[in-house]
């Protein structure tokens, strides 16, 4: 008789109605689909704000809207992964509730989103930054891939090299133009161009 699979990997994804959260759902769902025994827990927190809660919408309306959004987020995740997906609706300070839920279900990974491109604190947003600093497990920052370089010192990737990598599933890394300046092997040494060499490959000694 085969032994039951007892492996459990808990992935928590902090979601909210925003474009940044779209990438969080996609990234977390994709991971859950390839990690054995993965469970995906989507957490959305309704923040009523500090007392006396002077808001146009009542807390009842906010909770109702939160349920609708969370249900849709779970459906989107299930369209990507066959893993177990659970939605959690919390009320309170978002970072605290996300961290508490992640602790309560013994999370192995928390996925958060980004809002800005520059500066770690501004990029993450206050909630994601607090989660990153205080989580008891690894935190993954999910962001959309950019075609532009991250800074003036970072060159954009060669489109031909990227196409080769995709077509060969990583078996080949360089296009014909760039392959001639690389020694093929399994140890990768990247040297700054100022030192007279670009990225190169050296075959490890036996």
- Band the pLDDT of 144: cuts 50, 70, 90: confident
Percentage above 70 pLDDT, the chain: 72
Give pLDDT, residue 66.
92
Give pLDDT, residue 51.
62
Q: Is the pLDDT of residue 154 over 50?
A: yes
165-174 per-position pLDDT tens digit: 989 888 888 8
Go through 88-127 and write b for each residue having 16 or more CB atoms within 10 A of its CB, e for each that does not.
bbbeebbbebbbebbeeeebbbbbbbbeeeeeeeebbbeb
**Structure-model confidence comparison of residues 75 and 202, the more confident one:** 75
Nearest to 15 by CA among 80, 79, 105, 90: 90
Q: For 104-202, list the strands marked E by DSSP.
A: 109-113, 139-142, 187-190, 199-202
Give pLDDT, residue 204.
45
Go through 151-188 and write b for each residue having 16 or more CB atoms within 10 A of its CB, e for each that does not.
eeeeeeeeeebeebbeeeeeeebbbeeeeeeeeeeeee
91 — alpha (psi -120 to 50), left (phi > 0) or beta?
beta
- Band the pLDDT of 186: cuts 50, 70, 90: low
Give pLDDT, residue 104.
95
Give the chain's mean pLDDT: 80
**Structure-model confidence comparison of residues 162 and 57, the more confident one:** 162
Cα–Cα dist 200/179, whole Å = 10
36-51 per-position pLDDT tens digit: 999 999 999 998 876 6
The number of C-alpha atoms within 13 Å of 99 and in the hemisphere containing its C-beta is 15
Which tokens hold the place of 51? 């007392």
Give pLDDT, residue 39.
96
Q: What is the mean pLDDT of residues 56-76?
A: 88
- Band the pLDDT of 119: cuts 50, 70, 90: very low
Return the SS3 of 109.
strand
- Band the pLDDT of 94: cuts 50, 70, 90: very high
- Band the pLDDT of 198: cuts 50, 70, 90: very low
Q: How many Cβ atoms are within 10 Å of 76's Cβ, its own excluded?
A: 16
Q: Is the pLDDT of residue 110 over 80?
A: yes
């Amino acid at each position: 008789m085969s032994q039951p699979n007892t492996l459990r990997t808990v992935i928590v994804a902090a979601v909210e109605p925003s474009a940044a959260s779209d990438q969080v759902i996609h990234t977390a769902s994709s991971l859950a689909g390839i990690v054995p025994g993965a469970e995906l827990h989507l957490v959305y927190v309704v923040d009523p704000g500090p007392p006396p809660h002077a808001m146009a919408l009542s807390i009842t309306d906010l909770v109702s809207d939160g349920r609708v959004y969370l249900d849709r987020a779970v459906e989107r995740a299930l369209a990507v992964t066959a893993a177990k997906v659970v939605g959690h609706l919390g009320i309170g300070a978002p970072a605290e509730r996300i961290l508490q839920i992640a602790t309560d279900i013994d999370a192995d990974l928390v996925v958060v989103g980004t809002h800005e491109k520059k500066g770690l604190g501004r990029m993450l947003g206050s909630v994601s930054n607090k989660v990153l600093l205080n989580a008891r497990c690894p935190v993954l920052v999910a962001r959309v891939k950019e075609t532009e370089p991250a800074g003036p010192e970072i060159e954009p990737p060669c489109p031909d090299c990227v196409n080769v990598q995709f077509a060969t599933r990583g078996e080949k890394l360089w296009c014909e133009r760039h392959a001639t300046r690389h020694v093929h092997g399994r140890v990768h040494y990247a040297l700054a161009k100022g030192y007279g060499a670009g990225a190169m490959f050296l075959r490890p000694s036996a």
